[in-house]
Every structure is written in C-alpha cells, then in structure tokens.
Structure 1
Amino acid sequence: MKGSHPMSSTTQASEVVIVGGGIYGTSLAYQLASAGRSVTLLEAGEIASGASGGPGERGVRANGRDFRELPVCALSLELWKHYQETFEGGVGYRRIGGIKVFDVPYGHREHEVRGRMEAMAAAQSSLGAPSEIWSREETLSREPELASGIIGAVHCPNDGVGDHTFATRQFAREAAKAGATIRTGAKVVEILHARGAATGVKLASGEVVPVGDKLVVVANAGAQDLLKPIFRPHEFSPVWNLMPQMLYVTNPLNKTVNHLLSHAHRRLAVKQIPDGTLMLSGGAHVAHTPDGLWKGSLSALTQNITDAIMTFPFIDSSSFLKADASRVETVAADVIPLIGQTEALSNTLYGYAWSGHGFAISLGFTKLFTDWILTGTKPEALEPFSPARFHQPAAALATSVVSRAA
C-alpha cells in the first residue's frame, strides 16, 4: 500500500508529531509539551513563515464572526489575555476593544440596519462574546474621526489585536522550553502508515520522522495536498487559496484610531499599530503565480483605500507606504475552518482552511485539540467544523427520499 514504507530513521518517536509551524502548530506544541507529552514540530520553512507571519498586527476579534465560531472564540480570547500576562515578554496581544460600524447604504432602510445591529449584538452576547450597541453619539465620542454618516456600532470590549509573527515565535520558544523539539527546514512530503495508523512522516530530504501516538496536520495551505492520499472521497472539502493584501499608510495628522475597527457594509478593517502607522485590510485580494509569487493589484489597493477614506476621511491626507500580500491563505466554501480525524488513520488529526481569520481563534482551537489528544474524546465544540457538514445534509435528504418512496 502506498505510504506503508518501513522506517528509515532510528530517531525515537515523539508521542505527538505536528506538521506546521504557524500559530496553530506552535501553540499546540506548547500546550501538549506543558501537559507532559513528548512533541516534535516540523515546519517546512521558518517559524511564522506562512500565513501566521508578516508585518503589522492581526485582529483578535469575536465581533462579526460566524456564529459557529463564537464559543471557541470566547475561549481563545481568554487564553490570549492569559498568555499575554504569563509569558515572559507576552505574546504581543493588546485588548483594545473592537467595533463594527454601521451606516445606511444607498437603497437600504435604517430600521433594517438597526435591526441587524440589535440581532447581531444579542446573538454574539448569548454565544460568549459580550456585545453592546453604541448610538451614533457614543460611537463618534469614542472614534471622533469617523465619517458623519455612521449611525452606530456594535462594540465587543474583549476584542483586540496581536503581533502575529511575535506571538507565533513566542509560542515556539515556550514550547521548546517545555521540552518540545522544534525543527525548521523540515518539509513533510508524505504520511507513512500501516494497519490503519500513521507510523511516520517522510521529509523532502528523505528522512523519516516516526510518529508515536498522534500525528496532527495543521499546515494550512499545504494540508489538503498532504492528506490527499489518505482522505476518502467524502473527506475532501471545497477550498481555495487566496493572498490577502495588507496596506500600510502614514498618519501625518497624528490622528488616533482607538479600536480594532471594521465596517458592516464595506470590506474593510482598520488598525493603528504601535508606531502610529495605519494598517488597512479586509479588501480585495491579489493574484499569485504558479511559482507562488504574489503580484500586486492597483484595483484592489484603490478599492481598499477608498473604503478606508469613506470611513475615516482623515486618511486622505496619508501617504502610501507599502503593500504586503505575500502570505497564502486557504479558505473553505463556508469560510470557517475544517477540523477532523482521518477515517483511514485513527491517530491522524488535522485542521486547516483558517479562511483568513484564524489567528484570533487559534488558541481556543489548539486548547480543544489538546483536550482531544489527552482524553481521547473529541470535544463537542469542534463538531461544527467537521468536513461532514458538506456531505451529511445531502446524505440525509437522499435517505429521506428513499424512505418516502418505499
């Protein structure tokens, strides 16, 4: 059987082998090593060289999330706060609060927009993300540079921002201190298995790294290709890759953006990073070549900056600094992650398709992965993220139709 090769390494097997050195892999390695498990993490490049790295900061938010993610997000936000307070040097997390601002777009009705605000705040609060509605006056008093057309906002006080590169490297450092083996330049090209379990992984160098108890694949953009020989047809999920564009502009008027901010009707996120620079994201994405090189997009840049100026008019006085779209992100069809256990290999778990917003929820997911590995029982909170969601409804309907026909 393909993949069932004998071991070619005499290395002692770690109990858990993790593939992927982003925020998921490093925080999972830390949590498992802290719980006393022997762990080896394998990263193809350098730590934080993929979607978990890059300049600026990432949003750490519950506001505006898919409701299925909110219970995990609530756990994650508490863990961000915990590790910021307990790690030496922190994890680069700042709890500054987040707001989603609302206006009344052309053709819409104000009562509908306000109804959406109220429903969103109520649902988020009930699912673990305390949320409150700010009136126009409250919103402008806290963010006085906003455009006058804003009618209000939904505020999540527990939201914030984080230095994603720094955080990922901090978790790798703490994982190593806790006893984990962190290997960079170790590209995994094949999962080896026998008798229904992963026995090792083969590296591009030809080396085989043996697997003891569990193999966990959290390599995001590379995960589905690596799992392809193992997956059964119904385990595949509809995903695609994109390259989000982050823009950086000056702040010559020395204005302040006090919160992590997004807009209900525009593809926009605004952050002010500690040096005062403004970071604009959430807009259109850019192209990438077959070689994995990114190509800038003036139309995407223009759209994002226009949305930013319509939200914060003072940004029109800014100068453009740079664009960065060098990090590949994998997105699922319904824009929430894919998490599961392979049917063919009972000891192989995976998580990928973080869909461009996985940094914020990473610590909640890896805590649940840790519980799963330590107890042997899959946490119920992970069920909404199973790839079965793309197949079970159709199967249930087919069974129902057959039953009625009989």
Structure 2
Amino acid sequence: MMTDNLIIGGGVYGAAVAFELTGRGAGAHLIEASHIGAGASAGPGKRGVRASGRDPREIPLIRQSRKIWPSLHERLRVAPLFEQSGHVMLIERAEDMAEAEARAALQSTMGIPTEMVYGDAVRDYEPEVCDQVCAAMICPGDGVADHTATTKAYAAAARAAGAVVEEDVSAARLVCQGSLATGVECADGHHYPVTGNLFVLANAGVSALVGGHVDLPVWNNAFQVLLSTPLDDVPIRHLVGHAHRTLSLKSEPGNRIMISGGYQGRWDYERQTGQTVASEIAANVADAVAVFPSLEGIEIEVADAGHLEAVSIDRVPVIDRLPGLDNVYFATGWSGHGWAIAPAIAALLAAWALDGVAPAELAPLAMSRFTA
C-alpha cells in the first residue's frame, strides 16, 4: 500500500530520501522553499567525496556510501557522477605527524585503505608542493562528484518513480496531535497533511522547524568557496586537504581550481543572502599559495558565500527521530562534510521510517550523545 511521506527540503538529502522511499514502494511528497538543489546543495564546482579525516562515527557511513557512489548514476539513469581522484592530506609540521599516523592506521582498520608517505615520496603524488611539506596521508578511494547534477538526478528519479516534488513552498510550522505530526503549515498559509512520516531535512532550516520540540546544539555558517580563473597549468592532481591550514583544493573543469576549507562569509538574514569577506578570501588564497607556490598571482573568478550550512557543536551530523513525535525524522548539522555520506544516510532513513527499526549505523549520531 502506498504511504504518503512528506519531506521538507529539496537538497541532496531530501531528494535522495524521496528516491529511496519510492524505490521501496512508498509514496513521497517533497516540498522545497526555493528550487531543487538550492541551499547547501548549490554553489560552484564539485564536492569532495571524502572518507579521509572523518570522525570515526562517520566511517561506517562513508564506507557504505563508497559502495553506492561509483554506480549511483546507473540507478538514477544519468551520466556518471563520481570521479575517483584520491585524497592527499598534506603535513608541514612535525607536531601533526603522530595524529596523522594514528588516523591512517584507524581508517585502514575500519575499512578505508590509507597510507602515510614521507619526504620526497609526497612529490610522487603532488609534485608542486612547497619544501615545508614533509609527509602526507593518502586515501586513494576518495574523489569528487557534481553536487548540483547529483541532487537534480535524485529528484528526477524520485519523480519518475511517482514522487511529488514541489518548489517555492516554504514550510513554517509542524502541526502535531498527540505523538504524531499531522501536517505542515507553510508561510503562505497552505496546509500539507502528513499521513505517513515526516522528514525534516532542510539543513540550515531544521533547527527553526523542530525548535519547539528539541534544542539542537547547531548553528548556521556561510562557508566560502573560491573558483579561480583558468590557469595555464593546474598544479593540483588530487583532492587535497591540509593537516593544520584551513584549506581544501581540487581541480575543476576549464583548468580552474577550487579553494575552500572553512573560511567564512557573512550572512544577511534579512535579505537571505551571503556575502564574501575580503580578508577571508585573501587568507584562503594565501594558504593555497603557501602550499603550492606556483599559484602565486592566481586570480579569483568566483567568490561565493551564498549558501548556509548547519554546523553541530562536535562537527558531526545530528540524525534522530524527533522526541515526542513517533513519525518525524530529522537530520542536520552536516558541518561542511555531509555530502559524501548522503547516499548511505538517505537509504538508512527511509528504511528506519518504513521498517520501524533504528539503524545501528545512525545511533552514534543521535541526540542522546549530548545527554548525561
């Protein structure tokens, strides 16, 4: 029998949950305040599909997602989405070595093959790094995927399987009766009934919607992403991170590179838009040039801080059933690295709601970790 499940949020998580629900024969109705692939699922360039450097609680999820990503395009009936490039975390300081070695050993033990390389061996992977780079942690199975194309492909596949997907519908309040959510009121006064389960997956908007039921240790940031003008020579060979600098680098089409890593813009809540900060742009570029000196003089074509991302207090996502409401599931606090684990989490959320059994893989991400 078809079950009508309402999903708030048309980013990768909302679209993927809709796809997973319809794939199991359940109904799905998705509402998105803007358009599919807006919010944190939007922005320039591609996103890292990265296992390396994750909190150990997330490793079972990225391990599952790694099995899904290479053939996800076949399930969604689109062109390939995932590109395996490998991840290289660069190390310049001796004091960062022990942690990196311990992390590499743990990741390998947990099913994410990882190795350490030292000295000149680093330059076999990234020939143009500065002389101060003395070691690197190599995770060959990592890569990148086009977040906009992936999110839209999930939504299109869900539609094709019978899901209803509505854009420009802004959820304002959950309507509850006893231990169930019975509907959602929208900003324009429209009421959407909930006859099955409700998934609150609107990333930066989750806290406001569930705030009357749970106090989430989560806030929103507008992270900065920079895209260079075309380069004569792209010095970046892998998805690159850094042990102590706020830096992530990846090559992009058209001989461009993306520079990111966690520098922040400034969000205007009245206008609902983000603005970049000149000092943050300069600091991000300076880090990139310090590590790859051949980038000296690089020019920035796109500087973007227009997409809010929810950040949790321990930088690990918060995924749970809403206390007191048996049919409401929420997920937020992705902290800038929720993209890669989306395929696994979406499947687990759908299974939890339809089967009634909480997945063991999601237990470490529950609200209970914040209670005595």
Give distance in 1, aligned partners of 2:230 and 2:91: 24
Give distance in 2, aligned partners of 1:204 and 1:290: 17
Aligned pairs (5 A) from 1:369-384: 369-384=349-364
2:168 is matched with which residue?
185
Give distance in 1, aligned partners of 2:3 and 2:268: 37
8 Å contact 1:251–1:318 — kept in the other structure?
no
Deviations 1:246-297 (A, max 9, x none): 1111343313421100010100000101222110001420111231232221
The match for 1:308 among 275, 279, 288 is: 288
With structure 1 as the length reference, what TM-score do the two structures score?
Answer: 0.88
Give distance in 2, aligned partners of 1:33 and 1:152: 47
The match for 1:153 among 136, 157, 162 is: 136
* Structure 1 residue 14: Cα displacement: 4.9
2:337 is matched with which residue?
357
Q: Does 1:58 align with 2:47?
A: yes
* Structure 1 residue 197: Cα displacement: 0.6
Deviations 1:204-232 (A, max 9, x none): 22222111221110111111111122x1x
SS at match of 2:296: helix
Deviations 1:183-211 (A, max 9, x none): 11111111112231111112222222111
1:252 is matched with which residue?
231
8 Å contact 1:294–1:326 — kept in the other structure?
yes
* Structure 1 residue 71: Cα displacement: 0.9
SS at match of 1:51: helix
8 Å contact 1:57–1:163 — kept in the other structure?
yes
* Structure 1 residue 91: Cα displacement: 5.5
The match for 1:24 among 2, 5, 13 is: 13
What is the letter of the counterpart of residue 300 of structure 1? E
Give distance in 2, aligned partners of 1:53 and 1:66: 24
* Structure 1 residue 17: Cα displacement: 0.8
**Is there any run of 5+ residues in structure 2 with no aligned partner, and where?**
none
Deviations 1:91-146 (A, max 9, x none): 53211111111112xxxxx3x53322221101111223221112333320121111
Deviations 1:59-102 (A, max 9, x none): 11011111111111111122111203443323532111111111
2:269 is matched with which residue?
290
Q: Residues 354 and 113 of structure 1: is their aligned pair in 2 closer, same or farther, counting only changes over 3 Å?
A: closer
8 Å contact 1:19–1:216 — kept in the other structure?
yes
8 Å contact 2:235–2:294 — kept in the other structure?
no
Q: Does 1:72 align with 2:61?
A: yes
Aligned pairs (5 A) from 1:106-145: 110=94, 112-145=95-128
Kindly, what percent of the aligned residue pairs are identical? 35
Aligned pairs (5 A) from 1:330-369: 330-369=310-349
* Structure 1 residue 15: Cα displacement: 2.3
8 Å contact 1:14–1:210 — kept in the other structure?
no
Give distance in 2, aligned partners of 1:151 and 1:190: 53
2:221 is matched with which residue?
242
Aligned pairs (5 A) from 1:131-280: 131-229=114-212, 231=213, 235-280=214-259
Give distance in 2, aligned partners of 1:279 and 1:149: 22
Give distance in 2, aligned partners of 1:91 and 1:343: 39
Large movers: runs of 4+ above 4 Å: none
8 Å contact 1:236–1:387 — kept in the other structure?
no
The number of aligned residues is 370
With structure 2 as the length reference, what TM-score do the two structures score?
Answer: 0.95
8 Å contact 2:234–2:257 — kept in the other structure?
no
**Is there any run of 5+ residues in structure 1 with no aligned partner, and where?**
1-12, 105-109, 393-406
Give distance in 1, aligned partners of 2:222 and 2:75: 33
The match for 2:303 among 296, 319, 323 is: 323
* Structure 1 residue 372: Cα displacement: 0.7
The match for 1:96 among 85, 93, 104 is: 85
Q: Residues 33 and 91 of structure 1: is their aligned pair in 2 closer, same or farther, counting only changes over 3 Å?
A: farther
206-215 or 57-66: which moved more? 206-215
SS at match of 1:349: strand
Specify the structure having the higher radius of gyration (Cα).
1
Give distance in 2, aligned partners of 1:283 and 1:242: 10
SS at match of 1:212: coil
2:260 is matched with which residue?
281
What is the letter of the counterpart of residue 330 of structure 1? A
